[in-house]
Amino acid sequence: MAAKDLFPEIEPFRVGELPLDDIHTMYFEESGNPVGVPVVFLHGGPGAGANASHRRFFDPRHYRIVIFDQRGSGRSTPLGEIRSNTTPLLIEDIERLRRHLGIEKWFVFGGSWGSTLALAYAEFHPERVRGLALRGIFLCRQSEIQWFLYGMQELAPEAWRAFAGFLPENERHDLLGNYHKRLMNPDPAIHMPAARAWSVYEGSCSTLLPSPETVAAFSGDTLALGLARMEAHYFQNGIFLPENFLLDHVDRIRHIPAVIVQGRYDLVCPIRSADDLTQAWPEAHYQVIPNAGHSAMEPGTRAALIQAMERFKQLS
Helix (H, G, I), strand (E, B) or coil at 285: strand
Number of C-beta neighbours around residue 4 at 10 A: 12
pTM over 0.95: yes
Distance from C-alpha of 71 to C-alpha of 84, rounded to nearest angstrom:
9
Distance from C-alpha of 17 to C-alpha of 25, rounded to nearest angstrom:
6
Segment holding 163, helix H or strand E: helix 157-165
| C-beta separation of 267 from 152 below 8 A | yes
Under-70 pLDDT residues of the chain: 1-4
Cα diameter, the chain: 58
The C-alpha angle with vertex 301 and arms to 296 and 307, in degrees rounded to 5, equals 110
Looking at residue 243, its pLDDT comes to 95
Segment holding 142, helix H or strand E: helix 142-149
Looking at residue 4, its pLDDT comes to 60
| C-beta separation of 73 from 79 below 8 A | yes
Q: Give me the active site residues, please.
A: 112, 266, 294
Domains of the chain: 14-141+240-315 (3.40.50.1820), 143-237 (no CATH)
Number of C-beta neighbours around residue 90 at 10 A: 24
Looking at residue 5, its pLDDT comes to 85
Helix (H, G, I), strand (E, B) or coil at 77: strand
Looking at residue 179, its pLDDT comes to 98
Residues across the chain: 316
